[in-house]
Structure 1
Amino acid sequence: MEAWKLNIFSVWLGCFFTGLAMSQILPFLPLYIEQLGVHSHEALSIWSGLVFSATFLVSAVVAPLWGSLADRRGRKLMLLRASLGMAVVIALQGFASNVYQLFLLRALMGLTSGYIPNAMALVASQVPRDKSGWALGTLSTGQVAGVIVGPLLGGFMADHLGLRVVFLVTSALMFTSFLVTLFLIKERGINVKKADQLKGRAIFHSLPYPGLIFSLFITTMMIQLTNSSISPILTLFIKDISRDTGNLAFISGVIAAVPGVSALIAAPRLGQLGDRIGTSRILMAAMVASIVLFCFMAWVKTPFQLGVLRFLLGFTDGALMPAVQTLLVKYSSDKVTGRIFGYNQSFMYMGNVVGPLIGSSVSAVLGFRWVFLFTALMVLINTVQLWSGFRKIPARNS
């Protein structure tokens, strides 16, 4: 087997375990915060947003530093740092005795994050250019598969074994990612001196369409922003519209997981369709569909209705991020692919910082349902901005 194909298989496993581990925790953080002594609706909404955002705020600050180091020392080193670091910090979160400790540990985890973005960058920089779309689409299914299983497994453990056990199991899964990376992933040697690296302006001057690349960065931020704006209030909203709260964690886990099922189905097929009709068209259609679905979510009356709409939303999720990554590879050169993905990673983290704060703030002031409407408005604004960017590119190149 060729080295780059073995890498895809190995990195897929690492992304699967990482997606599984992270999705086991995020849906239930509000319940864990409540267990740590925060009970009022307003305080719970605000603390949920702060705890969600802490990790990504630190990550957004340090991501360019890790990206520069990855270009010089290799991305495998970054994968090892991220997986082992998260294994340790997540285990410590399971022993937090108050919300302040949890907040500090979530912030500390920002120094250790970045496994999946660095995995994407490693694959994109080492596979043949004409295989990059297929490779990134295949790799995305690893994370999606983990996200499907994670909330279900996490919900089962939370209901029957307790929330703290979820953190310990998640830590073990991240250590598994570390072992997979250490023993299976191979990377071509990287010997780039710091003085030889292109700087910010030089990177963008080397691109054929720098304006479009920046627009795609903004789109990455908005994808994460809109998804993460729902995360802090999803479990609380399900609790609000549920008649039976006996299995709240499991029900929340199912509803959190269902978009992953449809995304797993859609991602390869939409990727192939994009190769035929244009990736930009797939991206735009997915964004319009997500606007409609977020609007409908604001009016649901039962968890079942919310679950159906989130299942449909998964089809758009299966198109959005792989399409952006495919376009980034298409419109950048081999010399700067790693740095471009590094910048994209920073924008992704910024979306994860702002999204939960917006979601929790809107929820605290206006109520849960307004979060979905506000999210739809943000997607609409970004859709118009991206459409304007694509208009400047010749049709044959989009």
Structure 2
Amino acid sequence: MPIWKRNLIVCWFGMFVSGVGMSMLAPVLPLYIQHLGVADTGKIAQLSGFAFGITFIISAIFSPIWGLAADKFGRKPMLLRASLGMAIVIGCMGFATNVYILIGLRLLQGVITGYATACTTLIATQTDKEHTGYALGLLSTASIAGSLLGPSIGGFIEEGFGLRNVFFITGGLLLVAFITTLLFVKENFTREDKKLLNLKEVWKLLPEKSLTITMFITFFVLTVALYSVEPVLTVYITHLSHNSTHVALIAGLTFSASGLANIVAAPRLGKLSDRIGVHKVMLVSLLAAGIIFIPQAFVSNPWELMGLRFMLGLTAAGLTPSVNVLIKKITPAHLTGRVFGFAMSAGYLGVFGGAILGGQVAAWFGVQYVFLITGLLLLINAAWVYVNVYTKLNKKEKLMM
């Protein structure tokens, strides 16, 4: 088996488990906080939101730092650091004796994250050119599927094994990711003892500044879109199913539909982008995702919503790999880790921003408007991508013919 394929398999497993570890607390946090002695319902909701969001905010700050470290010391050391660190920290959450220890550990989890940044950089730099789109497409399914399926997995573990075992089992899976990374990931990395560049110097060295900013914003908008419905989806399904006793199960299946579609479609769209051009796949995916969001506001039952969420997953599968492939193409090799670090920061901020947007829009205008506003946001981003990315890269293709 080629080294890049073996690296891809190991990184896929690690990123999936890492994504689960970041998001699996969503359904169990209120229960765990109540278990730790908080009785007031309002305070439970407040502390749950803070404990969930703090990890993503801190991750957004530290992701570029770990990207810089990956460029300087190699990507494999960063994979080992992040997987072992998260295994220990998430495992320790199961031993928390009060809510403030839990919040402190969630904050620490945000500090030591960086597995996804190192994985993306490793695969982007160690995979041959003709397979880059496919590899990054397949890799993107791990993070997205882990994040989207994490709440369902967390709820399943809690139901079958108890609250504290959610943390122990997830920590154990991350420990497996650490061991497989240690044994099987190979990296050809030569350390260059160069002066560390500050942010201003890095910016000067980027040849395609406008395209880079567009990619950061597109990744931010994508994650906002994926997570804007997360706080309100269960409420919406309760309304659609007329207070059925199976709301939790239906909500879990609806969450999972997007992740499953992403796993199916991302490698294929990655291969397609290698053939016809990443900018074409990106534009069509953005337009399709924006359009598919709108009818979700008008469904009459949960099964229609589930079908549309599956279709959304198929279209969204063309976005993350497209962003990563284009960033890799326009970024000098020695800056790849830092630039991917900033891209991941945009993604983490998008997760937090999406959750805030969904909750606030639903509170002020109603749940249906979450889908309408998110769809409009994607369509506006598609228009910007058409002007800033599609037309420019199409002109370059024609000049090269």
TM-score, normalised by the number of residues in structure 2? 0.86
**Cα offset for 1:82?**
1.7
Letter in 2 for 1:314: G
**Cα offset for 1:194?**
5.2
Aligned-partner Cα distance in 2 for 1:47–1:239: 24
Aligned-partner Cα distance in 1 for 2:370–2:146: 26
Aligned-partner Cα distance in 1 for 2:366–2:85: 36
- Would you say how many aligned residue pairs link Structure 1 and Structure 2? 395
Letter in 2 for 1:383: A
Task: Give the aligned CA root-mean-square deviation in angstroms.
Answer: 2.9
**Is the aligned partner of 1:129 residue 2:129?**
yes
Listed one character per residue, the Cα deviations across residues 310-340 of structure 1 (whole Å, up to 9, x for unaligned) are 1111011211101111111122232322222
Q: Which residue of 2 aligns with 1:319?
A: 318
Aligned-partner Cα distance in 2 for 1:19–1:52: 13
Aligned-partner Cα distance in 1 for 2:189–2:275: 35
**Cα offset for 1:389?**
0.9
Identity of aligned residues (%): 38
Aligned-partner Cα distance in 2 for 1:237–1:38: 25
Deviates more, 1:68-77 or 1:158-167: 158-167
Deviates more, 1:64-73 or 1:87-96: 87-96
Listed one character per residue, the Cα deviations across residues 86-124 of structure 1 (whole Å, up to 9, x for unaligned) are 223323444556665544432222112221222011111
Letter in 2 for 1:275: D
Aligned-partner Cα distance in 2 for 1:33–1:223: 30
TM-score, normalised by the number of residues in structure 1? 0.87
Is 1:233–1:359's contact at 8 Å kept on the other side of the alignment?
yes
Letter in 2 for 1:228: Y
Change (3 A) 1:64 1:275: closer
Is 2:278–2:326's contact at 8 Å kept on the other side of the alignment?
yes
Letter in 1 for 2:15: C
Is 1:156–1:250's contact at 8 Å kept on the other side of the alignment?
no
Aligned-partner Cα distance in 1 for 2:297–2:269: 27
Is 2:63–2:117's contact at 8 Å kept on the other side of the alignment?
no
Change (3 A) 1:127 1:277: closer
* Secondary structure of the structure 2 residue equivalent to 1:298: helix
Letter in 1 for 2:66: W
Change (3 A) 1:286 1:222: same
Letter in 2 for 1:86: M
- Name structure 1 gaps, 5 residues minimum: none
Deviates more, 1:153-162 or 1:323-332: 153-162
* Secondary structure of the structure 1 residue equivalent to 2:333: coil
**Cα offset for 1:64?**
2.1
**Is the aligned partner of 1:58 residue 2:58?**
yes
**Is the aligned partner of 1:375 residue 2:374?**
yes
Q: Which residue of 1 aligns with 2:181?
A: 181
- Name structure 2 gaps, 5 residues minimum: none
Letter in 1 for 2:330: Y
Q: Equivalences for 1:263-278 in 2 at 5 Å?
A: 263-278=262-277
**Cα offset for 1:259?**
0.8
Q: Which residue of 1 aligns with 2:359?
A: 360
Deviates more, 1:208-217 or 1:79-88: 79-88
